[in-house]
Structure 1
Amino acid sequence: MRNKWIVSIDDYRKASRKQLPKMISDYLEGGALDETTMRANEDRFDALMLRQRSMVDLRGLNTSTTVLGHSLAMPLMVAPMGMLTIFHPGSDPAVARAAVRAGSIFIHSAWAGCSLEEVAKVAPDNLWAQIAFWKDPAETASYISRARAVGVETLVVAGDVGSSSKRERDLHHGLSMPPRPPVADYFNAATRPSWLWRWLTGRKMTYGNYQINGRPLRMDEMNNWMASNKNPGANWEDFARLRSEWKGNLVIKGIMDAEDAARAVEEGADGIFVSNHGGRQFDSQPATIDVLPSIVDAVGGRAEIYLDGGIRRGHDIVKAVALGAKAALAGRPFAYALATGGEPAVDRVFGILQEEFKGAMGFVGKSSVADLDSSIFAGQAQSAPTESVLI
C-alpha cells in the first residue's frame, strides 16, 4: 500500500488501525498496566530540544556508521518483535528483506512466528538472533546451535522477560494462547476483510522458532510450552556461561540500570541494549532516553550501547546517538507499516526515517554521525531533562 498521504510513522500507526481488527491493533499499540512507561518513551524524546545551526557546509553529510564492525546506512536497526505473522503473512522475512535493502540489521525475536532459518535465507549477513535462557538448557543450546549453523555472528540475550507482564488491552480482548476473544471482536474482525482473508489463506500463525515432533509449535500449544520452559531462575551465571561458549558477539537486551550495565560489561558483553520492552513488560519505570546517560557513564566505552523505545522520528535517532547510543532500534514503526502495506511499506518507513535523520543532522550542523554529541541540545544539555512531562 503506497499512499501519498502517508508521510510519517504516525500516519502508518493510524493506517494500521484501519487494516487490523481492534484486538490486533490494541495488541500492537498497547503496553503494560497503565501504559505510563510506554507513553513516557515518546514524551521524553519530545522534551529534548535541539539547537539549530546556520551557515554550515553540509556537502559531505554522511549518515553511515558501524555496529560491532558491521556497516549501517544510518544508526538504526530493527528491534526484535514476536508474532509479526498476526499483522501480515509477510512476517519476519518481509521486514528482514527491507532491512537488507536499507543497509540495516534485523534482530530475529526468540518469540517469532517463523523460524530463524527462514529469515537467514533472506538476510544472511544482516541478521542477529535473540535468545532466551529456557528452563531446559538443551532448548537454549539447540537454538544457539541453529544460530551458529546459519551463520549468525551476534546473539542478543533477552534479559527483560524474567517476570510476567500484564497488558490489560489484551485481557479485555481475550488474547491468551489460544485466543478467546469476545463475540464483539469477531464482528469487528469481519469489518477488516483484507486482514481476515490473509489470515484464512496466508501463512499459518505458528510459534515458529520452536517445534514439537518436527513441526512448528501451534499458537494453541504456546501456553503449555511456555509454562514448562519459562525460566525465572535465569541469571548472570547463565550469561557468563554463554560468554565462555559463544565466540561471536554477545549483546544483552533489557538493561535499564547503570549497575546492571557495568555488570554486563564485566561478564563480557560486547553490546548493551537499553530497552524497557517498549513499555510492554514493566510499567512505572523510566523512559529509555532518561537512563541512557547514566548507562553510558557506567559502561565507559567498554561496550557499544544501543537504545529502543519511543523512536518515531529521525530526530529521535539523532538525540539517542548524541547522548551516547551507537545506534537506535525501532519495533512498532515497522509493524505499523507491515500491517498497513506489507513489505513495500516497511521499505517506506526506512526511507522516511532516513530522510528525517539526515535533515535533523543538517539542522544541528553535523555532517557525520561521529560528530553528534551533547552540544546539539538547546542549553547544551548533558542528559535528558529530569522534570516529568506526564500528567
Structure 2
Amino acid sequence: MHNIHSIEDLRNRARRRLPAMVFDFIEGGALDELTLRRNREALDAHLLTQRVLVDTSQRHATTSILGTRLDLPLVVSPMGLLTVCHPDADVAIARAAATAGSVFVHSPWSGCSLEEVTDAAPGRVWAQIAFWNDAAETRRHIDRAQVLGIDTLVVAGDVAVSSKRDRDLRHGTGMPPRPPLRDVVNTALHPGWVLRWLLGRSMTWGNYRIDGRAIRMREMEAWMERNENQTATWDDIARLRSSWTGNIVVKGVMTPEDSRLAIEHGADGVFVSNHGGRQFDSQQATIEALPGVVDAVDGRAAVIVDGGVRRGSDIAKALSLGADAAAAGRPFALGLAAAGQAGVDRAFEVLHDELLTVMGFLGVTRVDEMPCTLVDSTGLRLEAAVAAIEASQ
C-alpha cells in the first residue's frame, strides 16, 4: 500500500482488478446519475477558510456519537453484496472499521450474516433494517440484532421503491445476472477476480435463510419483490420505538420536515443520505440538504451525512455544516476491491491523515471546534460573472 496516497489511487487499482460490470455496479447511480455527480460537485463547491499562527500541535479527530467513541468522525454506510468486490466482503470492512475506531453499518442485503460481522468487530457494528412487507422478517432481524448486543438500528427510509440503474441494466447484472458476451469476455480477462470468486465465499445473500441455508442470488429477486413495502410510514418508527430500547437512526432524511418527523416519532439520529445517487435521481446533494436538516434537528438528535466523501476535507465540510459525523461507502468498497482488508485499512488511514491536515489549516485541535463558515465557490463565480458583465456595460 506504499504507493496508495488517495481514495482515487484505490479507485484506479480497483478498476484494474475488477471486471467492468462489477466496477460499474460499485460506481454507478440511478438513471442519468445527476444526483451521483451533484454529491461530488456540491462538496467541491464548498470551500474552507484557512487560519494561521494557531497552535494545533495537539489536534486529534476523536469524537463520539450515540454513545460510541469514534477515533475518526466517519462511519461506514451500509452496502449490499460486497462479495462482488472481494470474498472477505463485510467482514474485512468491519474489521478495518474497528481498527480505525469507526463503526460499520451492516446492510440486510449483505452477502455476510449479521452474526459474522459482529463477531469480527464486536461493539463496532450497527444494523440496518427495513420495514419489509413480511413484518415477521423485520422482527427477526431486530431480534437478531438485540441478541448480538447491537445498540443502534439504522432504518432504511428510502427503499420503498427502487430506481433503475442504467449501467447495471446494460451489463445484465440483475438477479440472476445475465451478462452479454462482451462482459463474459471482459470478466475472463480478470483471472484474479475469477479465481477469488470460484474459491472464495459463495455469492449468496448470506444474511437471509431458506431452510437453514443462505438465499442464492437467483432466489433474491423473488424475495425482494415479495417483501417490497410501499405502505411503510412514520407510524412504523413509532412502533419500533415502543419495543426497541437502543438507538434508532432514520436513513434517507433530506428535508427539515422529515427531520422533525423523525424526532417526533422517537428517532435518536437522522442520516442525511440520497443513497449515494443510487435511488432517486435529480435531487439535492446531501451537503446541500444538510444545513436545513441541522437547523430543524436543533441539537435534539445526532446528524450523520454521506454522499461523495472522498477526502478528509469533505469530512471537515460536513462537520462545519453541523453534522456530528460523516459517512462513506464507495471508498471502502473500492479499498476492498483493490486489496482486501489492507485496502480498506489504507482508505481509513488516508482519510484520517487528510482530516488532521485540514484541521491544521483551519486552526482547530478538536472536531467540535470546526468553524461553521464555508465559502460557496459556485456563488463566488456567479458574483464574479455578474460583476464582469456590469463592468463591460
User: One fold, TM greater than 0.5?
Assistant: yes
Report if aligned partners of 1:51, 1:364 keep a CA contact under 8 Å in 2: yes
Report the 3-state secondary structure (helix = DSSP H, G, I; strand = E; otherwise coil) of the residue aligned with 1:74: coil
Deviation at 1:208, TM superposition (A): 1.1
Deviation at 1:385, TM superposition (A): 5.8
Is the alpha carbon distance of 1:90 and 1:32 closer, same or farther for their aligned partners in structure 2, counting shifts above 3 Å? same
Q: CA deviation at 1:387?
A: 8.9
> Residue 29 of structure 1 corresponds to which residue in structure 2?
27
Partner in structure 1 of residue 158 of structure 2: 160
SS in 1 for 2:252: strand
Question: Is this contact kept in 2: 1:324–1:373, CA < 8 A?
Answer: no
Q: Residue in 2 aligned with 1:103?
A: 101
Q: Which residue of 2 aligns with 1:78?
A: 76
Q: What is the aligned partner in structure 2 of residue 288 from structure 1?
A: 286
- Report the CA distance between 1:386 and its aligned residue: 10
Pair 1:123–1:385, CA change in 2 (3 A) = farther
Task: Determine which of 243, 246, 257 is the counterpart of 2:241.
Answer: 243
Read off the aligned partner of 1:227 and give its amino acid letter: E
Is residue 359 of structure 1 aligned with residue 354 of structure 2?
no
Aligned twin of 2:173: 175
Q: Structure 1: state its 5+ residue gaps.
A: none
1:80–1:331 Cα contact (<8 Å) kept: yes
Letter of the structure 2 residue corresponding to residue 203 of structure 1: R
In structure 2, what is the Cα distance between the partners aligned to 1:291 and 1:174? 33
- What is the letter of the counterpart of residue 159 of structure 1? G
Distance 2:255 2:381 in 1: 19
1:63-74 superposed matches below 5 A: 63-74=61-72
The alpha-carbon deviation at position 166 of structure 1 amounts to: 0.7
Distance 1:198 1:105 in 2: 27
Give me the TM-score of the superposition, normalised by structure 1. Answer: 0.96
**Deviation (angstroms), 1:232:** 1.1
Letter in 1 for 2:10: Y
Shift of 1:373: 2.8
Deviations 1:188-221 (A, max 9, x none): 0011111000011100001111111110110010
Structure 2 partner of 1:262: 260
Q: Compute the displacement of 1:181 (Å).
A: 0.4
Q: What's 1:213 paired with? A: 211
1:106-117 mapped onto 2 (5 Å cutoff) = 106-117=104-115
Task: Describe the superposition over 1:59-78 as per-residue Cα deviations: whole angstroms up to 9, x where unpaired.
Answer: 22121000111110010111
Q: Which amino acid aligns with 1:278?
A: G
2:63 pairs with 1:55: no
Aligned to 2:223: 225
Asked whether the 8 Å contact 1:83–1:112 carries over to 2, the reply is: yes
| TM-superposition CA deviations, 1:301-338 (whole Å, max 9, x none) | 11010000010000000000010100000100000010
Read off the aligned partner of 2:29 and give its amino acid letter.
G
For each residue in 1:139-159, what CA deviation from the matched residue of structure 2 results, as whole angstroms up to 9, or x when unmatched?
000110000011100000000
Q: 1:168, 1:59 → 2: CA distance?
A: 48
Verify the 8 A CA contact 2:172 2:178 in the aligned structure 1: yes
Q: 2: CA distance between counterparts of 1:61 and 1:373?
A: 15
CA contact (8 A) 1:290 1:385 kept: no
Note the 1:71-150 alignment, pairs <5 A. 71-150=69-148
Conservation of the 8 A alpha-carbon contact between 1:84 and 1:92: yes
Task: State the secondary structure of the residue aligned to 1:255.
Answer: coil
Residue 110 (structure 1) shift = 1.4
Which stretch shows the higher mean deviation, 303-312 or 5-14?
A: 5-14
Q: Which residue does the alignment assign to 1:41?
A: 39
Q: Distance in 2 between matches of 1:47 and 1:242?
A: 39
Unaligned stretches of 5+ in structure 2?
A: 383-393
Instruction: Point out 4+ residue stretches in structure 1 off by more than 2 angstroms.
Output: 383-388
Q: Is the 8 A contact 2:161 2:228 kept in 1?
A: no
Alignment partners' CA distance in 1, 2:154 and 2:145 = 11
In the alignment, the residues of structure 2 paired with residue 211 and residue 275 of structure 1 have an alpha-carbon distance, to the nearest angstrom, of: 29
CA contact (8 A) 2:80 2:110 kept: yes
User: Which residue is equivalent to 1:201?
Assistant: 199
Q: Are the equivalent residues in 1 in contact too, given 2:66–2:302 (CA < 8 A)? A: yes
